[in-house]
Amino acid sequence: MTQDTTHPTDLFENPMGLDGFEFVEFASPKPGILEPIFELLGFTKIAVHRSKDVVLYRQGDINFIINNEPKSHAAYFAEEHGPCACGLAFRVRDSHKAYARALELGAQPIEIPTGPMELHLPAIKGIGGAPLYLIDRYKEGQSIYDIDFEYLEGVDRNPVGCGFKVIDHMTHNVYRGRMDYWARFYETLFNFKEIRYFDIKGEYTGLKSRALTAPDGRIRIPLNEEASEGTGQIEEFLMAYNGEGIQHIAFASDDLLASWDMLKERGLAFMTPPPDTYYEMLEERLPGHGEPADELKKRGILLDGTTEGGDLRLLLQIFSETLIGPVFFEFIQRKKDDGFGEGNFKALFESMERDQIRRGVVKAE
């Protein structure tokens, strides 16, 4: 019998006791690159590590760490990839148990050197060789930050920022043929389940995607693989990034319009908005959606989901430009939809085509 650490809120059996994302660790070849980006995204620097050149930024319950420590795994990672996400942490209810179980199932341990009086953070080799930490100290006042970091004086330790509370999902890009390997990694070690598979075809390129969800229902990891023979967007990312890794991180808000306004005021650059035709087609695509189309259009926010049978399941989303090398961010608000905006790929494609027809570039038969 395997030990059951399943919690009442779990979606299905949770043998690792997963409980959401804890932090993402970043690095860059030289300091000063990531800090202004995190501020644009609504984060505040709240603490510095007691002995290492490591700082903690926070917004809502999202922790971003910048590791500028020389000769660390982060430094080597940055040398290879440029500015990047070089580590990832999952919350688990008991890190010793989870770590032992991961190794038993074939995970590769990664030793992160610690200074005196510092916590030893168990980690296994994750995406792109980056450490995947297993953290059980995340209770307020007893967290890893309370022990290894010093909070800045007078700083709000739980800044609201732009209203983003949690990481909704974190998409990985992997080499062609490697999606199954990475799906097995998360399935075997953590009991993730595939909730969606899609094959998205543009006119010339395409991508395959497997969306995995953890048993706690809060860690969502879609895996993307290039579907075309040529240099589609996944291939381009892998070349720019110099390997497999985190392509984008999505933050969830309860009020995306308000969050967007705050990001805009900070000067964040968003991806090019869709053509007007996208919004003209909204009512046709999602009849009775009830969202303020003009407000969405003004901001370039996309809408996806379904309104079938009057049951509204919607998702609002928008993306930043690439901000950290080829890595970008997504901002979303879920209204009962648990997808990733798949419908928008097709809708964007069609709205651009309609726009081309209107401009006479493409002749409609």
Residue closer to Fe ion, measured from CB, 76 or 197: 197
295: alpha, beta or left, given left = phi > 0 and alpha = psi -120 to 50?
A: alpha
- For residues 202 and 159, give the distance between their C-alpha atoms in angstroms, rounded to a whole number: 40
CA-CA distance, 6 to 29, in Å (whole number)?
Answer: 41
Of 41-49, 59-67, 69-77, 244-252, the segment contacting Fe ion by CB under 5 A is 244-252
Place of tokens 């062609």: 176
Binding mask 330-349 toward Fe ion (x if CB under 5 A, else -) reads x---------x---------
Total residues interacting with Fe ion, rule: CB under 5 A: 3
Structure tokens at 240: 């720019």
- Between residues 33 and 223, which has the closer beta carbon with respect to Fe ion? 223
Count CA atoms within 13 Å of residue 256 on its CB side: 25
- Of 237 and 340, nearer to Fe ion (C-beta) is 340
Comparison of 135 and 263: residue with beta carbon closer to Fe ion: 263
When asked if residue 211 is in the footprint of Fe ion (CB under 5 A), the reply is no
| The amino acid at 289 | H
84 closest CA partner among 95, 94, 73:
73
Q: 192 forms bridges with which residues in the sheet?
A: none
Residues ≥6 apart with Cβ < 8 Å to 350 = 281
Closest separation between CB of residue 318 and Fe ion, Å? Answer: 11
- Minimal distance in Å, beta carbon 111 to Fe ion? 32
User: From residue 42, how far is each of 74, 159, 346 by CA, in Å?
Assistant: 23, 9, 31
| Residue 250 interacting with Fe ion (CB under 5 A) | yes
Q: How far is the CB of 250 from Fe ion (least distance, A)?
A: 5
To Fe ion, the closest distance from the beta carbon of 16 in angstroms equals 24
Shortest distance, position 289 Cβ to Fe ion, whole Å? 20
Smallest separation, CB 249 to Fe ion (Å)? 9
DSSP assignment of 289-308: --S-HHHHHHHT-EEEEE-G
Contacts of Fe ion in 103-122 (CB under 5 A)? none
CB nearer to Fe ion: pick between 42 and 122: 42
Q: Which residue has the tokens 């953590």?
A: 190
Q: Which residues between 297 and 336 bind Fe ion (CB under 5 A)?
A: 330
CB of 266 to Fe ion, least distance (A): 21
Which 8-state DSSP code applies to residue 128?
Answer: G
Question: Considering only residues 255-274, where is the footprint of Fe ion by CB under 5 A?
Answer: none
Closer CB to Fe ion, residue 148 or residue 226?
A: 226
Q: Which of residues 214 and 250 has its CB atom nearest to Fe ion in the complex?
A: 250
Q: How far is the CB of 208 from Fe ion (least distance, A)?
A: 15
Q: How many residues does the chain have?
A: 365
Nearer to Fe ion, 82 or 339 (CB): 339
| Tokens standing for residue 270 | 């968003």
Helix H or strand E segment including 328: strand 328-335
Q: Which residues contact Fe ion (rule: CB under 5 A)?
A: 250, 330, 340
